[in-house]
Amino acid sequence: MTIIVTDTGFGTETWTQGFVPTNEAANDVVSLDVTSDTDPATLKDRLCGVGMIRVDFPSFADGRGFTIARQLRLAGYQGRLRAKGHLISDQYAMARRSGFDEVEISDDLAARQPEAEWLFRADWQENDYQARMRGAKTA
């Protein structure tokens, strides 16, 4: 079982259309499973009609998925973007800032890092360096 983490906390899976690995995807897929070593440039021409892209994080120390998310958003992708795998609650704000809408974690990880830890980081738009600097008064 998996847990879907959003800014409102833990939830259950709502995507019912499955996922197709990018190396098996035809032109008419509605969802893609993207590995962490995928070059986002190879996906640019395949984004039309894709409602969900799930990017794998094989390790919490592997940040390539953040780059993939950012590049997909810069390429104009507006569908759901999900990070899947070994992310920890400390990385949630970075996932949201880079373009992910949600994070998919295992039940085991949810037990080690409960919902409160993820919710603590859900105010990701207000608690970043740039927001603090924009709010600073000039003398």
106 pLDDT tier (thresholds 50, 70, 90): very high
Phi-psi group of 49: left, alpha or beta (phi > 0 → left; psi -120 to 50 → alpha; rest → beta): left
> What pLDDT score was predicted for residue 20?
86
Confidence (pLDDT) at 49: 87
What pLDDT sits at residue 134? 64
* Cβ atoms of 14 and 36 closer than 8 Å: no
pLDDT above 60: residue 139: no
CATH no. of 2-134: 3.40.50
Q: Which of 12-16, 118-122, 126-130 has the highest mean pLDDT?
A: 12-16
Does the pLDDT at position 74 exceed 90? yes
How far apart are the C-alpha atoms of 121 and 132, rounded to whole Å?
16
List the strands of the sheet with 20-21, edge to edge.
9-11, 2-6, 102-106, 80-85, 52-57, 31-34, 20-21
Between CA 33 and CA 96 the distance in angstroms is 18
Token pair recorded at residue 62: 């592997």
